[in-house]
């Protein structure tokens, strides 16, 4: 990394004020080091952001674009997948405690690349939420329709794009769908139950459990006049289900901050036709990105222009900030220590701590070494290891320990000859713990490696 790249990294990493950057550059120049004269030159700050900002109802709007963000992510590397599933988030962000100024950014992430950063497609800036949902969402809808129909070419290879869903809190969901809020009589997003007002508690409750469900077809046909208030551009999204694809049960708002027990019972015992891992529809990463956007604002003047400049500076320097993408499987040797990275967060090593693993046929094997040479679609490696010939149950009450892949065994029963195992034959890594019996070890699966 050069001195200039190092200065850029420092400035962007710690969101350094321009005055501080200018002072550092001046000191370098006095030391006869060739560096840019100003922070704007160093960070390639956009000179005229006002041309990118448009006036819409209630404030200012900047639309950066979805394709631009994706192409920037793969500016210097290939896309590892032939399909990109995009998860969007829309929420409000108060900027200052002394004013009502707020951002309403449109953020998105790529499901197939969970390590990639949250990206900003657009930002609205005003004293309240956008007045006109058409002006706010229409650019996103038009670009998404183009991307889902035609795909995107990344590093010369065609990649398809699809919409996975929109994650938002309750007020934002009602806003983008153009429907009654959660405090209204027809505010339920999932069914047609009509609420009742309780004068004592001054709340709206939704009695009963058997009200007909709302459907995408019914929503589009205008079957819910008390629920639908204004037309939404989301109805023009190709292949988009306005009921199911606007996520209701996100982890932050309805799980961690909501009724955990009831949800767990519902997921366990209920009949759900649409199931996805909670971690993949969580608003946590989007909430984190909202706070990052807020930290980019250094004063109360020209808030949107400040955010645009800081984001453009980060995008210009994305290739250095982006972490290296590890490849799996991979192996290396230092001295007598052989390390095999089977997959992400799964490592085997020929030492006492990391050498044990379980195969698909429930054999316990001690990892010894690795050899290349298996040329098929599963792996390029063969594992050499010694099998534990005799193993038993660690316990048999209230159920047999083998149901949880927990076993006991003795080191002295290891086979004398090594066997060879393919990577696709590995079930999980094992943690070995000494038991209260002489030379006996209890083997417990390392849960995050279990497949």
Query: Would you state the pLDDT for residue 298?
Result: 81
Distance CA 378, CA 338 (A): 21
Predicted local distance difference test score (pLDDT) of residue 154:
92
Report the pLDDT value the prediction gives residue 1, as an integer from 0 to 100: 73
Closest CA to 74 of 130, 116, 135, 17: 116
Question: β-strands 119-126, 102-110: how paired?
Answer: antiparallel
pTM of the model: 0.62
Identify the H or E element spanning 154.
Answer: strand 152-154
CA 104 to chain centre: 19
C-alpha span between 93 and 231 (Å, rounded): 24
Query: Contact, 246 vs 165, CB < 8 A?
Result: yes
Residue 367 φ then ψ, to 5°: -70, 130
388 to 238, 263, 329, 370, 413: CA distances (angstroms) = 56, 43, 25, 18, 6
* Domain extent listing, the chain: 3-43, 54-259, 284-321, 330-449
Query: Residue 376's pLDDT is what?
Result: 44
What is the tally of helices (H) and strands (E) in the chain?
A: 12, 22
Tens-digit pLDDT profile for residues 159-206: 999 999 999 888 899 999 999 998 899 999 999 999 999 988 889 999
Contact (Cβ atoms closer than 8 angstroms) between residue 214 and residue 164: no
Q: Which residues of the chain have pLDDT under 70?
A: 249-259, 261-264, 271-278, 318-325, 372-380
């Amino acid at each position: 990394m050069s001195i200039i790249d190092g200065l850029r990294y420092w400035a962007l990493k710690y969101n350094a004020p321009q005055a501080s950057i200018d002072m550092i550059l001046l000191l370098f120049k006095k030391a006869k080091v060739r560096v840019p004269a100003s922070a704007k030159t160093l960070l390639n700050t956009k000179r005229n952001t006002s041309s990118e900002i448009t006036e819409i109802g209630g404030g200012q709007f900047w639309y950066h674009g979805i394709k631009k963000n994706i192409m920037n992510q793969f500016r210097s590397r290939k896309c590892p997948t032939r399909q990109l599933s995009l998860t969007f988030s829309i929420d409000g962000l108060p900027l200052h405690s002394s004013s009502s100024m707020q951002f309403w950014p449109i953020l998105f992430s790529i499901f197939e690349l969970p390590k990639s950063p949250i990206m900003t497609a657009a930002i609205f800036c005003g004293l309240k939420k956008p007045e006109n949902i058409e002006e706010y969402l229409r650019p996103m809808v038009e670009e998404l329709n183009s991307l889902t129909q035609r795909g995107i070419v990344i590093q010369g290879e065609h990649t398809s794009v699809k919409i996975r869903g929109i994650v938002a809190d309750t007020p934002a969901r009602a806003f983008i769908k153009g429907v009654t809020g959660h405090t209204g009589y027809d505010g339920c997003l999932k069914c047609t139950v009509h609420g009742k007002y309780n004068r004592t508690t001054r709340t709206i409750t939704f009695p009963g459990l058997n009200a007909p469900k709302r459907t995408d077809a019914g929503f589009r046909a205008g079957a819910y006049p008390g629920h639908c208030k204004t037309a939404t551009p989301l109805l023009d999204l190709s292949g988009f289900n306005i009921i199911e694809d606007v996520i209701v049960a996100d982890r932050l708002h309805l799980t961690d901050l909501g009724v955990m027990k009831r949800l767990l019972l519902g997921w366990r015992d209920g009949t759900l036709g649409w199931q996805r891992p909670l971690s993949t529809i969580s608003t946590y990463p989007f909430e984190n990105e909202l706070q990052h956007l807020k930290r980019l604002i250094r004063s109360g003047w020209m808030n949107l222009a400040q955010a645009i400049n800081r984001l453009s500076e980060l995008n210009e320097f994305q290739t250095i900030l982006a972490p290296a993408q590890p490849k799996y499987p991979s192996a290396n040797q230092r001295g007598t220590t052989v390390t095999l990275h089977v997959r992400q967060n799964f490592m085997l090593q020929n030492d006492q701590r990391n050498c044990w693993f379980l195969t698909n046929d429930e054999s316990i094997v001690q990892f010894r070494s690795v050899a290349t040479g298996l040329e098929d679609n599963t792996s390029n490696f063969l594992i050499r290891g010694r099998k534990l010939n005799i193993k038993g149950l660690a316990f048999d009450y209230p159920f047999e320990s083998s149901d949880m892949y927990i076993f006991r065994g003795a080191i002295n029963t290891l086979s004398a000859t090594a066997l060879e195992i393919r990577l696709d034959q590995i079930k999980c890594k094992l943690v070995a713990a000494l038991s209260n019996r002489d030379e006996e070890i209890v083997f417990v699966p390392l849960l995050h490696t279990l497949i």
